[in-house]
Amino acid sequence: MSYFDEVYDRIKFATNARTQVELAEMLEIRQSSISDAKRRRSIPAEWYIKLYDKFGLSLDWLRWRSGPMYSKDKASVVPDVPDDATFSSGLREDPAPGMTAAQGVLTRVLDTACDYTDGDVVPEFSLHDHMVLPQSLLGEGTLVFYVQTGGMEPTLRKGGCVGVSTLQRHLISGEVYALLLPHEGVAFRRIVQDSESGLFLLCFDQAGLPHTRMPVKTLQARILGKAMWALQPV
């Protein structure tokens, strides 16, 4: 795929435009301008400006798919996009008969760092980034967090994103949960029950890191939810 085609596909993906007519409406230009750009194999600078001003899209992401999709300095633009805004999957061809194109949802990715002390209610989480995720991953009560540490590797890799279901707080020994820990914020641990003591072990998956013992009553008060899926670098 040529450089022009890659950028053009990213523009269609970000604007949810599946046709030339829809894209022209989004960019507030004539359809003939798109035909001219295709013929010249060049994206006009005016398009980049419009995409930045109207959607808050990062120019580096548009041109080279580098960095986050949305510009940090356009934070005032991004939150105005409705939570249920959908974007096309980026397919370059229409789906086969009987199949539907996957849809994505503009989703807040949250920082794990937050102010929390014992007995506090669930704190406010700060925004790390936005990303488009499949609707199927975003059930009711799902929060998405950016993984900032490597203690749970290889299960949860540093730099990845984890979906946490806040509706699934029932303890199942051996599963990974998001916990609220003082001085740490949101932390991911594998919870294992110690049959001898009746306590639960909060374990890292990374070998050599110490585990913590905690009574069930204390643990239940700190569980934010169950880790359901991860999108992460290889």
Q: How do residues 25-37 score in pLDDT, each as one tens digit?
A: 888 899 999 999 9
Residue 48 carries which side chain, given as an amino acid letter? Y
Rounded percentage of the chain residues whose pLDDT exceeds 70: 84
For the segment 5-10, the average pLDDT, to the nearest whole number, is 89
Out of 27-36, 63-72, 108-117, 121-130, which region has the weakest mean confidence (pLDDT)?
Answer: 63-72
Residues of each domain in the chain carrying CATH 1.10.260: 3-86
Q: List the structure tokens of 143.
A: 């929060």
For the segment 42-60, the average pLDDT, to the nearest whole number, is 85
Cβ contact 159:232 at 8 Å = yes
pLDDT at 234: 66
The 10s digit of each residue's pLDDT in 163-199 is 999 999 999 999 999 999 888 899 999 999 988 888 9
Q: List the structure tokens of 5.
A: 């085609």
**Is 131's pLDDT higher than 90?**
no
Report whether CATH 3.60.21 matches the domain 3-86: no
pTM: 0.59
| pLDDT band at residue 19 using 50, 70 and 90 as cut-offs | confident
pLDDT at 175: 96
Indicate the average pLDDT of the chain.
Answer: 82
CATH topology of domain 105-231: Umud Fragment, subunit A (2.10.109)
Q: Percentage helix, strand, coil, to 5, in the chain?
A: 25, 25, 45
pLDDT at 119: 67
Instruction: State the burial class of residue 170 (Cβ atoms within 10 Å of its Cβ: 0-12, 13-18, 19+).
Output: exposed
Residues of each domain in the chain carrying CATH 2.10.109.10: 105-231
What is the H or E stretch that residue 179 is in?
A: strand 176-181
pLDDT at 97: 53
